[in-house]
Structure 1
Amino acid sequence: MNMHVNTIEAFLEALVKELEVPDHRYEQAEKSYSSLGEWLHRPESTVRRYDPQVYCQGSFRLGTAIRPHTEAEEYDVDSVVELRLLTKRDKTQQELKVMLGIEITAYHDARAMVKPVREGNRCWILDYADGAQFHMDVVPAVPNTEQQRILLEARMLDTRWASTAISITDRRVPNYRILSEDWPRSNPKGYSNWFASRQAMVFERRKRAILETMRRESVRASVEDLPDFKVKTPLQSAIMILKRHRDNMFARNLDLRPISIIITTLAAHSYENQDTISGALFAILDRMDQFIVYDGRKHIITNPTDPFENFADKWEKEPQKAEAFFDWLRQARADFQAAAQAGTFQQMADALNPRMGYALSRRAVDRLTGGSRLLRAATGASAGGAGTVSAPSFANADRRPTKPQGYA
């Protein structure tokens, strides 16, 4: 069978438009953590002398955040407060978290925020007003560059991402209340830099294209004037689509839902600078299980910026999570293959409705057809342009993956 390539691309683009976080949400998130940073640097701040740096992490930083299903749900904005002049020799994890918690509570009170500050295992949680529709998780951290580089050099491993390594707090670990060099590790800046490296060529090309369009429309702008969140690559778009597919497939069993960092990491490894969403999506679905190592006992999905961290570490004790991932991958392959083989936008929506959601698929079709029944029923060639390619054909997801190639 053939896939009407222009049509499936148009349909996936419409899906992404419906999933995209509005620009004002990104601006709102940036203002929120910038405001907290200013508060922590005010003259009366009890942590100012430690040079606190507040920055975003997670899907908002990577540009892969998706809209909540409904207006009643909230955006989860993840941030870090890194106290750059503090070390693990100065404070326990608990002392650091309590110290920062006092400042966050003071910030909450000074801004007259109604909902109380909440404590998570690793973070403090600021709940904004209902109209804002988001909450911010604030993770306390200290630099971990020196220790991380020593660990990596001892094993003759890549140290290129060590300069941004941090240690974070977690009240579940045994040494939470005692002075120790052994803290949970993280590296959100390093990970986002690695992720950016996987799409750098396409990202820069798209950014230049946007700027050129703006100039043709007599809008003066430079590279520095265009925020990264205004540029969407096929890799980011494909991840957004896969995350929503995952969310709906596991809506009734959230504990088994494959975590976003696994989907994002495997997708980034699989991406080969495709210029279209459909090209990126089908390459990712075809290749992503190749980047999982199975050593005969456990599955390994290595953090590309910290080879000591296995994103699939819970799969060993909870094998049902491994089963769930491969079940999801098989289902995603089947669903998007069926959509690719469909001849009309409506048939594509019908193929994806069970996992992408009826309302989302309908809005995507309406975006393309303006609600016209005639266009909904039009063939792919007439609705989306001529030209066909072979429809993707995926093998069943391999439950015993081999060692991956091409780790960056």
Structure 2
Amino acid sequence: MNMHVNSIETFLEALRQELEVPDHRYEQAERSYTSLANWLHRDDSSVRQYDPQVYCQGSFRLGTAIRPHTDAEEYDVDSVVELRLLTKREKTQYQLKLMLGAEIRAYHDAMGMLKPVREGNRCWILDYADGAQFHMDIVPAVPNHNQQYMLLSSLSLDTRWASTAISITDRREQNYKILSDAWPRSNPKGFASWFVSRQAIVFERRHRAALDAMRRHGLITASVERLPTFKVKTPLQSAIMILKRHRDNMFARELEMRPISVIITTLAAHAYNNQDTIAGALFAILNDMDKFIGHDGVNWIVANPTDPFENFADKWNRQPQKKVAFDNWLRQARIDFSAAAQAGTFKDMADALNPRMGYALSMRAMDRLTGGSRLLRSSTGVSVGAGGSLAAPSFSHAERRPSEPRGYA
């Protein structure tokens, strides 16, 4: 059988499909935080007067979530409850967290949830029934856009993301129980908007193509806005999903050392340059992502693109071994995916990636492409991409000079 495919692109797409979170999980997550929002807005809610807004953050919002390794593991759905009419002058972090915690416990009891509500350093955690296979982290927050805008403006820094800035609670903070303006800062909506901006051209093209295909098959007649964004995957999102699973397996026995997802996501989005294939995006990211790690002469910096005062790499400076772990992971990822790209058969690609991507995942991806045929597993693909030949990547081993990541002033 002739196989007119771009071998590595086809294999990476199969990996992405195996890692993909099923649509019903996204829908389940949306129903869960919508249900909580409705509870917080009920007539006898103790926080209704503060206009609580519940929204998703993290990988589910960015479209980079991946399936757990097994059915015994859970999805981690991150959410925020922002009390939009409450200020830091009215409550301490501690008081806000207690007030929201009381509502979450009441919601837990009203919904008949069995597993107890847990408290994290920054959040409350709702554990859903075993069949649901997920838990929801709920971070209490208040608006911080005015303070953030004034701070950035005073330093002539980019203010375009300031309108969605928030302040959050953290029980590790010294002023946790004291009225203070100095709360931990965050901006998940701003980060999501920045992430979307890094892939907007390709996303729009794929979004419309997916909608057109559904219309041709009579599956949808609604407008573009009615197609859920999680049904479209860009090369950037796909590459990040694959890199996250590679990272997970490489550090399966050293969980505390694995590079955190927000660093991988931020550096990948910086390095992405509208490549239209997963392979093109993946190899551009692997080649360039460390160029966007800054260093001020003392500290390593991976700045939040929407808040230059938040350093995602702050733990690298307190625990230098974590920076070493990131460098080791990036070096290994370059080796593994370069070997896969140079392989002549799907089996050889799977063999190159098995140690870090996982044997079961690689085999499922190969079976997805070959239907389990041993003959097709060993068939040689035609390495031709949409824009011509795809050369096997080679990565420079020259020392990188840290630079300021683009995306903020």
The match for 1:244 is 245
Are positions 1:200 and 2:203 aligned together? no
Given that 1:289 and 1:397 are in contact with CA atoms closer than 8 Å, whether structure 2 keeps it comes out as: no
The match for 1:29 is 29
How many angstroms apart in 1 are the aligned matches of 2:398 and 2:64? 24
Given that 2:11 and 2:365 are in contact with CA atoms closer than 8 Å, whether structure 1 keeps it comes out as: yes
Given that 1:5 and 1:387 are in contact with CA atoms closer than 8 Å, whether structure 2 keeps it comes out as: no
The match for 2:97 is 97
Which letter does structure 2 place at the counterpart of 1:22? Answer: P
The match for 1:114 is 114
| Deviation, structure 1 residue 151 | 0.9
The match for 2:319 is 318
Given that 1:326 and 1:397 are in contact with CA atoms closer than 8 Å, whether structure 2 keeps it comes out as: no
Given that 2:92 and 2:178 are in contact with CA atoms closer than 8 Å, whether structure 1 keeps it comes out as: yes
Give per-residue Cα distances to partners, 1:379-398, cap 9 Å, x unaligned.
Answer: 12299999643210001374
Which letter does structure 1 place at the counterpart of 2:313? Answer: A
The match for 2:172 is 172
The match for 1:55 is 55
Q: Secondary structure at the match of 1:163?
A: helix
How many angstroms apart in 1 are the aligned matches of 2:385 and 2:236? 22
| Deviation, structure 1 residue 404 | 3.6
| Deviation, structure 1 residue 292 | 0.6
Are positions 1:216 and 2:216 aligned together? yes
The match for 1:137 is 137
How many angstroms apart in 2 are the aligned matches of 1:296 and 1:353? 39
Distance 1:46 1:372, change over 3 A: same
Q: Secondary structure at the match of 2:249?
A: helix
The match for 1:9 is 9
Give per-residue Cα distances to partners, 1:10-47, cap 9 Å, x unaligned.
Answer: 00000000000000000000000000000000001000
Q: RMSD of the alignment, in Å?
A: 1.7
Given that 2:303 and 2:405 are in contact with CA atoms closer than 8 Å, whether structure 1 keeps it comes out as: no
The match for 1:330 is 331
Structure 1 vs Structure 2: percent identity of aligned residues? Answer: 75
TM-score in terms of structure 2 length: 0.96
How many angstroms apart in 2 are the aligned matches of 1:183 and 1:272? 35
Which letter does structure 1 place at the counterpart of 2:380? Answer: T
| Deviation, structure 1 residue 406 | 3.6
Given that 1:68 and 1:74 are in contact with CA atoms closer than 8 Å, whether structure 2 keeps it comes out as: yes
- Count of matched residue positions in the alignment of Structure 1 and Structure 2: 404
How many angstroms apart in 2 are the aligned matches of 1:74 and 1:276? 30
Distance 1:42 1:385, change over 3 A: closer
The match for 2:382 is 381
Distance 1:217 1:374, change over 3 A: same
Q: Secondary structure at the match of 1:135?
A: strand
Are positions 1:189 and 2:207 aligned together? no
How many angstroms apart in 2 are the aligned matches of 1:339 and 1:105? 49
Distance 1:95 1:14, change over 3 A: same
How many angstroms apart in 2 are the aligned matches of 1:227 and 1:341? 36
Distance 1:406 1:139, change over 3 A: closer
Given that 2:50 and 2:85 are in contact with CA atoms closer than 8 Å, whether structure 1 keeps it comes out as: yes
The match for 2:78 is 78
| Deviation, structure 1 residue 174 | 0.3
Q: Secondary structure at the match of 1:390?
A: coil
Given that 1:329 and 1:397 are in contact with CA atoms closer than 8 Å, whether structure 2 keeps it comes out as: no
Which letter does structure 1 place at the counterpart of 2:159? Answer: T
| Deviation, structure 1 residue 194 | 0.2
How many angstroms apart in 1 are the aligned matches of 2:94 and 2:33? 22
TM-score in terms of structure 1 length: 0.96
Structure 1 range deviating more: 382-391 or 333-342: 382-391
| Deviation, structure 1 residue 312 | 0.6
How many angstroms apart in 2 are the aligned matches of 1:395 and 1:38? 53
Which letter does structure 1 place at the counterpart of 2:222? Answer: A
The match for 1:258 is 259
Distance 1:78 1:382, change over 3 A: closer
| Deviation, structure 1 residue 150 | 1.1
| Deviation, structure 1 residue 407 | 3.0
Which letter does structure 2 place at the counterpart of 1:149? Answer: Y
Distance 1:34 1:358, change over 3 A: same
Which letter does structure 1 place at the counterpart of 2:211? Answer: L
Which runs of 5 or more structure 1 residues have no equivalent in the other structure? none
How many angstroms apart in 2 are the aligned matches of 1:276 and 1:120? 39
Give per-residue Cα distances to partners, 1:212-233, cap 9 Å, x unaligned.
Answer: 1111112312112101111100
